[in-house]
Structure 1
């Protein structure tokens, strides 16, 4: 069997900072004796591209570095629209690939169609924070970690062979999984409801437990992910909880705690409610579902539903990476809280109405209606938090702390439309209706787009730029080589 090509991609909208990420992963690959083309998929505006692209050219990499930015994306989308030969579909296609968390990742799926893909967010790093004195895990325990004060000792950076850990399992059957992989139905987190990815309350320690269940030996591992340290996979409510409990903290947006792993081990499951697309790999050899093209943060939720097919499996690989939480161009924490509340509503509605799962998509019956009870539940949670902030403000120990709490309380009120129930319900309904309409339309047209791209890639390369950066000890590829790699 011919080994499939493996691509390493970095979706970003922070071109200013992505060069550091590129060099970090390139160094990890070199030290591990691995090679893979690195492609940056940039959601920047044309103005930011012109401002920061030169910084990408100043990077030094041993692996070939490619770039898909605003110009290349426009060429790609224009080609798709031309092939569809229906001007009425242009808006739908452009929305599917619009600048957004999901839209940018949909470009990565198209460009790696037929191959294997590993993806890392621009604020990930290829090392993990591991406790110096690891503890043994329980029989059904897959990982254990804890939050510690930033700057505390007792843990060490440890690097792993990221590419090889994915190659060990991605695209293979469960029967081919290495013998050290545990097998089960799904993972359960002691600190989080994984089906909706919502916190059960701030926890200083957490464990992942493997629930027993049969995994078909013939199921193919279509997606996999590493474990994560630095910033754990927690939601905005937990960040706010940290801010409230630290009476000396003056900045709600900063993070004064670090998540370290005590121990972990790899596993393969039939269901994966803990999908973390920031550190994930995909078997894209026959095409995959689209990420939800949303500006909210639940673009990967489709994969949590799609992977439940008996013929498909998911894995946590034998390596870990670190998230450094880059606040540059990130939404304020109050906005993150609002977005996560809407995401939870959408996840519940889609999951409850799921009708069908097929090779490259899902079908569900929910059409976007938001009841008064839906909006009131969200609003009640925000109002309760606002009351806690005002109470903490009244008991603050310093003027700086008091001012910080007041500013955050005001930001929360603005974000939730000053808690005016009718106005809030109206706006939430509009947002949900827009998101659901776009998602449903995207799922319908996606198989057609995959066919167009599949045949295009058999004959021509997709629009892509080879970054003329410095490659120490490496021969510059020829133009023909560029086209072969792009294809």
Structure 2
């Protein structure tokens, strides 16, 4: 169980960092983020209640510039502070609504080239502490795998489904604080970890941060979108194929709904929910019908494609989608999804029970000694033997240890 909580994966890396930063503030960044924002050259005024507005433009078009922000300072301005101490330029409200996303699951409601975030009115307690915060995002923004497919279908000149020719650019934005934050995506997130935080869901699926959207609804907590922008460039390195990403997101959407609908109370270091991991026949049918509609759209686009390369790419993706969703065979699909969901829910519930004990252990350990840290010198060149017979793992590891650690 401990190994699953701290394994090097989506949620595991952040849980590891939560322990090492216990007692402090922390900022977590995905590896495909860039320290600048893409801002339109001619910003437009935002409407009343509008927090940000952005649009997708073709990568070869001009009209926007890279702009750097003092990211860490923007987090320091609000993290761990009462909402009443936030800078005056911060708007305040209950939650954010995205014109292109479902509120509670944060999943796409249909591909759109422009979107806005709107602040819903609501009161924030003056003493509500800002526990989580994030920057605004440009580049590929926070779009789902299904949106990547839609963009590929729309661009009839593309033949590589993994390449993205469009860039999401912000027209204008302003920071805000909310009592709830369904729009938290954790691309670059700041956390007030001074007394401890809940664990990210230790899951191989891509919804490890969803716990924070549920937990932050505690009236004594608040969340912020800070006065900074960063760019997300989707990195396909070590990512699953796009069809697998769609399957992943389909299960994530189901789990988000199930957990949210059975949510109990939020504690200081976690949440409780009553979902037992069961999948109904209607659940399976809904997931399959969505995938089948997309499959039909892809085949239609393949039939209409002008180039042979595009036809092949679309048909190959349709074949992968069909295979990934277990050939659209309802019983076989539901059986496999039930197994995956049951394993994930069991792991999440057990981890939530164990987490407070682990926090207590680390808290007292850090008061005596720092947790183990090994500093690695950068720019060290390790000579690897040329002959394959000499380049055994033991020899390579030994050389790395001698060169980097200095044994």
Match of 1:295, SS?
A: coil
Deviation at 1:469, TM superposition (A): 2.7
Q: Which runs of 4+ in 1 moved over 6 A?
A: none
Which of 34, 49, 54 is matched with 1:140 structurally?
49
2:292 matched to 1:388?
A: no
Unmatched runs of 5 consecutive residues or more in structure 1: 1-91, 471-487
2:268 matched to 1:373?
A: no
Within 1, Cα distance between the matches of 2:51 and 2:21? 31
| Deviation by residue 1:425-469 (Cα, 9 ceiling, x = unmatched) | 000000000000000000001000000001111111212221223
Within 1, Cα distance between the matches of 2:273 and 2:306? 51
The alignment's TM-score, normalised by the length of structure 2, stands at: 0.92
Partner of 2:311: 402
Match of 1:192, SS?
A: coil
Partner of 1:101: 10
Which of 247, 254, 267 is matched with 1:358 structurally?
267
Match of 2:187, SS?
A: helix
2:363 matched to 1:454?
A: yes
Within 2, Cα distance between the matches of 1:457 and 1:442? 21
- Cα contact 2:39–2:172 (8 A) shared by 1: yes
Trace 1:86-485 onto structure 2 (pairs within 5 A): 92-469=1-378
Match of 2:133, SS?
A: strand
Partner of 1:35: none
Within 2, Cα distance between the matches of 1:320 and 1:467? 30
Match of 1:302, SS?
A: helix
Within 1, Cα distance between the matches of 2:138 and 2:21? 27
- Cα contact 2:7–2:13 (8 A) shared by 1: yes
- Cα contact 2:14–2:28 (8 A) shared by 1: no
Match of 2:37, SS?
A: strand
Deviation at 1:99, TM superposition (A): 2.9
Within 1, Cα distance between the matches of 2:264 and 2:167? 40
Unmatched runs of 5 consecutive residues or more in structure 2: 380-407
Deviation at 1:151, TM superposition (A): 1.9
Within 2, Cα distance between the matches of 1:230 and 1:237? 17
Within 1, Cα distance between the matches of 2:103 and 2:9? 23
| Deviation by residue 1:92-132 (Cα, 9 ceiling, x = unmatched) | 11122223211111001011000000111111011000000
RMSD: 0.9
Aligned length: 379
| Deviation by residue 1:313-368 (Cα, 9 ceiling, x = unmatched) | 00000010001111111111111110000000000000000011010000000010
Match of 1:277, SS?
A: coil
Within 2, Cα distance between the matches of 1:362 and 1:124? 29
